[in-house]
Chain A
Amino acid sequence: MSARGENTTNEDGSIARRKAAMAVLAHADAADIAACLDAVALPAHENLREAENGLVMVRGRIGGDGAPFNLGEATITRAAVRLSSGEVGFGYALGRDREKARMIALCDALMQSPERADGVEAKVIAPLRAAISARHARRAAEAAATRVDFYTMVRGEG
């Protein structure tokens, strides 16, 4: 019973880790991912599903309790990669960059392999995450530099 509980926790942990990695990879540039992946020794792998373009319906709602409506379709690319050791990774990315979707799928597969996950986390995910947060911080700083505070003068009534 306790072993099962432990397994579930481990699984939840690894899923959370994969989700976090996906969030970083989806926002990273394909060229940056490729540069980071060069530093990792890649095992033999094959395309289980070749990268393909498609559309997803984007749903929106106005306000927290507004009725959902179809906003429009967005182009996405998806891919699935299988390592020689059997792990299957999936990659979805907005846009039509097939190589990016394939690299995301490859990273996802590597993240599932216990002996490779830490290497990928350190060499790919962490630098990309740092780059993305640096970009956000720079944008926020640029915006903050032009901030104007408005004061309302209280007009005397008499």
Chain B
Amino acid sequence: MTTIAELPAGFADKVLSAQSTFRSVMDAMARPGSVQHVVASVEMPAALMRGTAAIALTLFDHDTTIWLDPGVSKTPDVAKWLNFHTGAPVVTDPSICHFALIADAEELPDLTGFALGSSEYPDRSTTLILQVESLTRGQRYELCGPGIDRAATLRAMIAPKDLFERLAINETLFPRGIDVVLVAGDEIVAIPRTTRLIGHGG
């Protein structure tokens, strides 16, 4: 049971940290597959990585609904921390959430359970924030799509091995679909709904 006296503090410098993190996320989204760094110093609950915590403090507010994976929601630590620092409501139904925080990527549920947006408002879909083991070593993924000059190579150890196969639903759903931000420590990589996998290997 976390009391308020044990809550981690959040950003050391709220304004500049949020601005620099926003910039990192924006660059990551503009250049899918490229590794961006979160430089802000932040205190966070044990279940979250630095990048995840910084993104949460930057993008979440009282208007954004959050869904937490079963592992994170088992203890109230993360929900309390989010509530204190961002005021974002935590929901149990993934189909109405704006952001889904997935600390243990093995627990990633079926993607069609999340909000996919509507044809009129494709932006009303869930953005997945997925913590992975590494974004600099591991399997090689070749990506293409808007924001990528011919092809981008990403080396990553992603826990659900079939993540990109699952993201193939974005092709049929477009312009609806799910955007993903992968986080490993303070490194982030964005896989927006327009990015396609063109090859992978060891």
Q: Do A and B come from one complex?
A: yes
Q: CB within 8 Å of B: which residues of A?
A: 46-50, 52, 82, 86-88
A-B contact pairs, 22 of them (CB 8 A): A46-B9, A47-B9, A48-B4, A48-B7, A48-B9, A48-B10, A49-B9, A49-B10, A49-B84, A49-B85, A50-B10, A50-B11, A50-B13, A50-B14, A52-B14, A82-B5, A82-B9, A86-B5, A86-B6, A87-B5, A88-B4, A88-B5
Q: Determine the main DSSP class of A at the interface with B.
A: strand
A47 contact set on B, CB distance < 8 A:
9
Residues of A within 8 A of B11 (CB): 50
**Cα distance A76–B14 in the bound complex, in angstroms:** 17
Q: How extensive is the interface on chain B, given as a class?
A: 10 to 19
* CA–CA, A82 and B4, complex, Å: 9
Beyond the given A48-B10, A49-B9, A49-B10, could you list 19 further A-B residue pairs with CB under 8 A, ordered by the A residue number?
Answer: A46-B9, A47-B9, A48-B4, A48-B7, A48-B9, A49-B84, A49-B85, A50-B10, A50-B11, A50-B13, A50-B14, A52-B14, A82-B5, A82-B9, A86-B5, A86-B6, A87-B5, A88-B4, A88-B5
A19 to B85, CA, bound (A): 24
- Give chain B residues whose Cβ lies under 8 Å from the Cβ of A49: 9-10, 84-85
- Report how far A87 CA is from B5 CA in the complex, Å: 6
B interface residue numbers (CB < 8 A to A): 4-7, 9-11, 13-14, 84-85
Chain A's closest residue to B9 (CB) is A48
| Complex CA–CA separation, A143 to B29 (angstroms) | 64
CA distance A116 to B52 in the complex (A): 38
Q: How far is the CA of A88 from the CA of B5 in the complex (A)?
A: 6
A87: B residues at CB distance < 8 A: 5
The interface residues of chain B lying within 8 Å CB-to-CB of A88 are 4-5
State A86–B6 Cα separation when bound (angstroms). 7
In the docked arrangement, what's the CA distance between A49 and B84, Å?
9
Q: Which residues of A contact B9 (CB under 8 A)?
A: 46-49, 82
Which B residue's beta carbon lies closest to that of A112? B5
Minimal Cβ-Cβ distance residue in B for A48: B9
Q: Could you tell me the distance in whole angstroms from the C-beta of A54 to the nearest C-beta in chain B?
A: 11
Least distance between A57 CB and chain B CB atoms (Å):
14
Q: For the complex, give the distance between the alpha carbons of A37 and B78 in Å.
A: 35
Residues from chain B with a CB closer than 8 A to the CB of A86 are: 5-6
Chain B residue with the shortest CB-CB distance to A52: B14
Q: Which residues of chain A come closer than 8 Å to B13, judged between CB atoms? A: 50
The interface residues of chain B lying within 8 Å CB-to-CB of A46 are 9
B81 to chain A, nearest CB (A): 11
What residues of B have a CB within 8 angstroms of the CB of A52 in the complex?
14
In angstroms, Cα B28 to Cα A121, docked, is: 52
Interface pairs A-B: 6 shortest CB-CB? A86-B5, A50-B14, A88-B4, A48-B9, A88-B5, A46-B9
Closest CB-CB distance, B74 to chain A, in whole Å? Answer: 24
Complex CA–CA separation, A82 to B6 (angstroms): 9
Separation of A82 and B84 alpha carbons in the complex (Å): 14
How many Å lie between the Cα of A78 and that of B13 in the bound state? 15
